[in-house]
Structure 1
């Protein structure tokens, strides 16, 4: 075998890496055709370490790993859902923040408005009070003091009407206690026209000669009673007698309560014997009482209503043709007094204006049953230049100012002759804010509502011309 190996041996010579001469020879194995792969455990360990290093590098660089694809898909979906929820919550919080900021701005505006109104009221001088008439006890209608079976507490109807100038939209907003002047008060300058005094005497049905000092019957104790209307039916019918007194507080947007008192004494004590809830709300202070019915203007319309007291239902309803309403042609103080109903010796009247009359007072005589217009007269005195008006013996009288303590009845228009003229009859606004004046033909008195106070005036009329 040794000799055979020598015959098959191969030898060669060459320099190694260091440059030294090296002899190399090879002898084929007599039993193995090929040698096994070299490396052993060291090579396997190196491969494992290399694989681990590749995995770490892939994770750090965000590349693909040997993690199953389903695991990656689920994790990505959960992460996306969480992100969507977070964005949705952020949007909701931003919307809530914007809403709160708007509410804050609105509240700040209201506070500023109330502050200005408070400063205005503080700067306004208080009217001088005369001790001639003792103060009346306060109103107690908010909680009616009646025996068992009587009327309970009345609901609060005090909401804020439109401000002046809102007649186009005919909408009312919420009424605030702190700003009663927002009830469409028109601060108009009224020029009083002097005229020769009357020389007539007597108590017939001639011209108005004089108006006595006002007599106070009652004072309201809440802001709802700053404006109002009170009435006595000159031709009362059953079940109510001629002494019955009726009252409506007209501050608010849904005026529907009608209070009834057995007589003037019960009115002064504040104990109503009847409280009716009207089917339609009242507008302004132009209501009146006649022949067992209440006549009034329906809120935000030119519709007139006849409410029968005995049946407690509407007996007639009719529009007053072309009449202005809801602040178009009020008296100078405002209050949506576009249509003023009145009663005198000749029946039922409406005092109003139209666009055709350009704001001048129009007088209409009405049928008390159907509310149909029988005849109309157009005057030449502008309605918003006078404080109030009333009818006596078929004649229209106007009052110059609603705030001046010493003013005049400054104009008269006779429907019999269709002629008007200026007059100068002294008139007192004792409490300096007169919002309602009506004539009672039986008592020969004017009934008025002057700045929370229910008052009346004795009249002196001249002899009727023959």
Structure 2
């Protein structure tokens, strides 16, 4: 131990710098032994402020808290700046929307002023108002367009046409024009029509005539009368939108061009609601099935009254025997060179298609045929020259006319004539022998097809 103490002492006393930083002393401890003690200053701390380890930890903790507070303040300032930027962006959007609304309001104000001026010009006209179909003029002071809508309830009921693109100023002009220019169409030679008859050979590609806006135009009826009665002519287009629980409105258009523009010359309000897409127009009357019944109605378009109503005995209705696409298409009217037909089924026929040739005046059945094809297996059906033709699919883009039944021989056969459903939801197909076309309603679109018949002399 003495040797070790001597070495330590020599090391401490070996240099001047060490002497300045170390002290040495000797003394007895409590046990009476000799004890040597030396103290060396820290190389980093010149002096000790007298604080304990706890005080040092507290000082370090205070320093850390200060740094954390500083960082939190920076983050808060960043958050505030971000919130301010978001608020400024939202405010800018609100200002832009308000500006756009003001512009829209200005445009609407301009349109309102123009309409008011147009109404004033119409009221200031000195010409006489056109007569109504019944020969009575519109009462003085009444709306100039009130006679455009026909209602069964009498003159006290008023309503306006609901065609989405109907503009009443132009519609009045169209009605006036129709009243002064349309002439009665000559009746066609029925024997001549039958001489032209033959089997269906081909169907052309669909031609789109008009697209309907709004859900009510999903499916419906559109056609032309092959034997019109004045004041309506062969170019007059008839339209029913068949979607709805209470379908009553029948639109009349001067021609296909006015149909595409959405300007009806007249709107009828039928006294009984229509069931589905089986209606047709023939010899100045609308033929249709009353909703939720097997009752057939003939509505005279000139007198605007129901001329005949008759039940179709044993016929299924309201979803008993529809076409494959549904739509309560149990009873389907059709017209061809031989007259007015009803396409339907009965419980006795067990769902097979039944054809009945009807008297167009009284709706009495002249003769019936039962086919061997089930009605709910085909998408639609139509008549040409006394033959029934059925469509295989309403949704397939490229389908076929798959069956034919000849009422002259009471024989049916499978065929395969190509047919296109361009818009893939064909809910109505009818034949017009006056212009040799099929009229169809395909998923909001009114389309037509040219047909080619086989020359009977070349069969």
| Higher relative contact order structure (alpha carbons within 8 Å, sequence separation ≥ 6) | 1
Counterparts of 1:309 and 1:223, CA distance in 2: 27
Please show how residues 136-285 of structure 1 align to structure 2 within 5 Å. Answer: 141-142=163-164, 144-147=166-169, 150=172, 204-285=196-277
Q: 2:379 aligned with 1:387, yes or no? A: yes
Corresponding pairs, count: 277
* Cα distance, 1:140 vs structure 2: 8.0
Q: Is the 8 A contact 1:361 1:378 kept in 2?
A: yes
* Cα distance, 1:464 vs structure 2: 2.4
Choose the corresponding residue for 1:406, options 373, 391, 398: 398
Q: Is the 8 A contact 1:438 1:448 kept in 2?
A: yes
Q: 2:296 aligned with 1:304, yes or no? A: yes
Q: Is the 8 A contact 2:171 2:265 kept in 1?
A: no
* Cα distance, 1:238 vs structure 2: 1.0
Change (3 A) 1:455 1:262: same
Q: Is the 8 A contact 1:140 1:271 kept in 2?
A: no
Q: Is the 8 A contact 1:261 1:273 kept in 2?
A: yes
* Cα distance, 1:146 vs structure 2: 2.0
Q: 2:449 aligned with 1:427, yes or no? A: no
Q: 2:359 aligned with 1:367, yes or no? A: yes
Counterparts of 1:456 and 1:357, CA distance in 2: 32
- RMSD over aligned CA atoms reads 1.7
TM-score by length of 2: 0.59
Counterparts of 2:302 and 2:240, CA distance in 1: 18
Q: Is the 8 A contact 1:365 1:376 kept in 2?
A: yes
* Cα distance, 1:149 vs structure 2: 8.7
Change (3 A) 1:415 1:267: same
* Cα distance, 1:231 vs structure 2: 1.2
Change (3 A) 1:345 1:248: same
Counterparts of 2:224 and 2:424, CA distance in 1: 24
TM-score by length of 1: 0.58
Deviations 1:232-254 (A, max 9, x none): 00000111111100000000010
Unaligned runs of 5+ in 1: 1-138, 152-202
Aligned to 1:460: 452
Change (3 A) 1:149 1:361: closer
SS at the partner of 2:317?
coil
- Report runs of 4+ in structure 1 exceeding 4 Å deviation: 148-151
Change (3 A) 1:357 1:276: same
Q: 2:438 aligned with 1:446, yes or no? A: yes
Counterparts of 1:140 and 1:423, CA distance in 2: 42
Unaligned runs of 5+ in 2: 1-160, 174-194
* Cα distance, 1:210 vs structure 2: 0.5
Counterparts of 1:268 and 1:220, CA distance in 2: 9
Deviations 1:174-219 (A, max 9, x none): xxxxxxxxxxxxxxxxxxxxxxxxxxxxx94111110000000000
